[in-house]
Structure 1
């Protein structure tokens, strides 16, 4: 069985890496032949994260490359698409290139459709507002990272919808040795310069915690200018080092706004923290409510006072951190691991190709 995987990015892109590339070895082992064709080059992401302009010429060249890939679709049994073929172009163009295509699966791990249907630009809403609904309706299968995304696909009239959670490869997340009980707690966050603004939601509780307990804040992948007190440590993100940095946390955090965009998030950083046996604190938004069992593997905190109380409890109680961390690891092993999810994905791909 031959599959053409059309991702948005190389493994440098978080969604592309964790929703697609990390499954490739398991798919190969199952006898599936997957050819990969990312849309945008790494230089696009590098400029995006650095806040620099992206080259229109390079973007145009990337789209031209994608169209060239579309010319050879007859060689494949199935297309596996990350969100859409041609971002920011109308459905009619995309549909024309898919007119003689094999069946396709389309995957969503965020509410990308809200870039279109909630755009501040009327022309974008008019031309693209229902584009992804039409992409989902035509798909043999829509895989969605959470119920919010799956509900959108079902409302769009998708023929088949499956919730496929975002998962981790536990071989990359060995449990670290128990942290020393003495010394200040390390509160950790992992993300990118595109998402570190959520930390501002809990700036007050973080500063209070540092003043009261001496806790340190460890940020992986954030803009180095983000500071919430003198005890903020910054670490650049890399795929090879991320698990090691998380292993050095005592508490993992995921503050979020509560808007339709955040409802589409899949809680990946929570799953990473829990894979390393760390207790978590998260905003009670979207899938976070499913991942975090309040009082079992972490806490859900909405107001600044709730955040401060949860941070205090975990910072001051190593035993509680250990118990919650163990519960989180067990949940990842059962529900959010590559070993559990890869066989299911293999079955979904085979079924979609068979029609």
Structure 2
């Protein structure tokens, strides 16, 4: 499918992206960079984090040199957005509910924080001016559709398929491991299931709970093995766990999440347990590749099922892998994006900015 676009004139895209150490950049921009040329697309990525306003204006004025300006996550000022939208076709790529407070935040918000009045105004303006909005979850797509319905496309976060060697079956002496991977800011979600994980740990002394993050979790009854995150160690850790989990609050911020850690677990053929919230609902097929939990009792029940029944773990793990390859693997997502870009540029999906 990659070669079908080569007959077209190459598309030139300027991607103004988030900080390079952010997962949203790694998996919604960087992941695709080595292969865009196979689609007849020239992608020019520039990090706009830390650039002064003058430099941003210069970039905006250069937008007429490109078929698309791909703005990844970071909301620019209305002035800059207007310049870009008047000179090129603007794509806004959003993978978090930046229009609402982050889970657990309290007090007065700084203007640069999600959910602030300034942030909301910028995001809504960008969506209105965008030719295309790439939303990472159904909840984000629903929000964007309120301001520019015709422009919205659902684009899940992609992940590279692991090498076959990464999918080896653990030996019989392997300690069964329940794992969670995420940023420091998401560690508090583990407290939501602390009663359940603590009970499991008391009744199954052979179970290891492992967390991969920037720092260990705090103030939990459950004893978690801490593995510092790095790009190099991530693959080995994902291979080593047996069950992947994703607890969430049922709030507006969490409902906007893109279930990315579930996608990572599934790529490695792991059964999953997740809160019945947001994108988790469509990523987990309850009873097929894992379970959706609504209570602490659910979490205990589903962990026990997967701990005690190796056949169910194996079967659900295989289903996870099938779902990953059909819906989230890098080439699947990149094929979809390329089709959208070429169809829009040839006016198959016309849209007028408002």
* TM-score > 0.5 by shorter chain: yes
SS of the residue corresponding to residue 91 of structure 2 reads: strand
Q: 1:43 matched to which residue of 2?
A: none
> What is the CA-CA distance between 1:83 and the residue it aligns to?
2.7
> What stretches of structure 2 of length at least 5 have no aligned partner?
1-10, 348-354
Q: 1:103 matched to which residue of 2?
A: 89
The Cα offsets for residues 57-116 of structure 1, whole Å up to 9 and x where unpaired, read as xx4x45554333223222212101113442xx5x3x333432542111111111112259
The 5-angstrom pairing of residues 151-300 of structure 1 reads: 151-171=142-162, 175-181=166-172, 184-214=175-205, 215-226=207-218, 228=220, 231-300=223-292
Q: 2:42 matched to which residue of 1?
A: 33
Q: TM-score, normalised by structure 2?
A: 0.85
The Cα offsets for residues 30-56 of structure 1, whole Å up to 9 and x where unpaired, read as 12111111122xxxxxxxxxxxxxxxx
CA distance in 2, matches of 1:190, 1:126: 31
User: Structure 1 stretch 136-145 or stretch 121-130: which is displaced more?
Assistant: 121-130
1:148 to 139, 147, 150: 139
CA RMSD of aligned residues (A): 2.5
Q: In the superposition, relative to structure 1, how do residues 183 and 28 fare at CA in structure 2: closer, same or farther (>3 Å)?
A: closer
What is the number of residues matched between the two proteins? 330
User: 2:341 matched to 1:345?
Assistant: no
CA distance in 2, matches of 1:259, 1:123: 20
CA distance in 2, matches of 1:127, 1:320: 49
User: 2:18 matched to 1:2?
Assistant: no
CA distance in 2, matches of 1:319, 1:22: 34
Asked whether the equivalents of residues 271 and 316 of structure 2 are also in contact (C-alpha less than 8 Å), the reply is: yes
Q: 2:62 matched to which residue of 1?
A: 72
Q: TM-score, normalised by structure 1?
A: 0.85
Q: 2:350 matched to which residue of 1?
A: none
Q: In the superposition, relative to structure 1, how do residues 242 and 172 fare at CA in structure 2: closer, same or farther (>3 Å)?
A: farther
CA distance in 2, matches of 1:174, 1:348: 34
> What is the CA-CA distance between 1:188 and the residue it aligns to?
0.3
CA distance in 2, matches of 1:197, 1:166: 23
CA distance in 2, matches of 1:122, 1:194: 16
Q: In the superposition, relative to structure 1, how do residues 202 and 100 fare at CA in structure 2: closer, same or farther (>3 Å)?
A: same
Q: In the superposition, relative to structure 1, how do residues 208 and 114 fare at CA in structure 2: closer, same or farther (>3 Å)?
A: same
The Cα offsets for residues 291-335 of structure 1, whole Å up to 9 and x where unpaired, read as 111111111112111111111111122221111100110111111
The 5-angstrom pairing of residues 315-354 of structure 1 reads: 315-354=307-346
Q: In the superposition, relative to structure 1, how do residues 236 and 123 fare at CA in structure 2: closer, same or farther (>3 Å)?
A: closer
> What is the CA-CA distance between 1:119 and the residue it aligns to?
9.2
CA distance in 2, matches of 1:237, 1:67: 36
1:112 to 92, 98, 101: 98
Asked whether the equivalents of residues 141 and 158 of structure 1 are also in contact (C-alpha less than 8 Å), the reply is: no
CA distance in 2, matches of 1:221, 1:108: 23
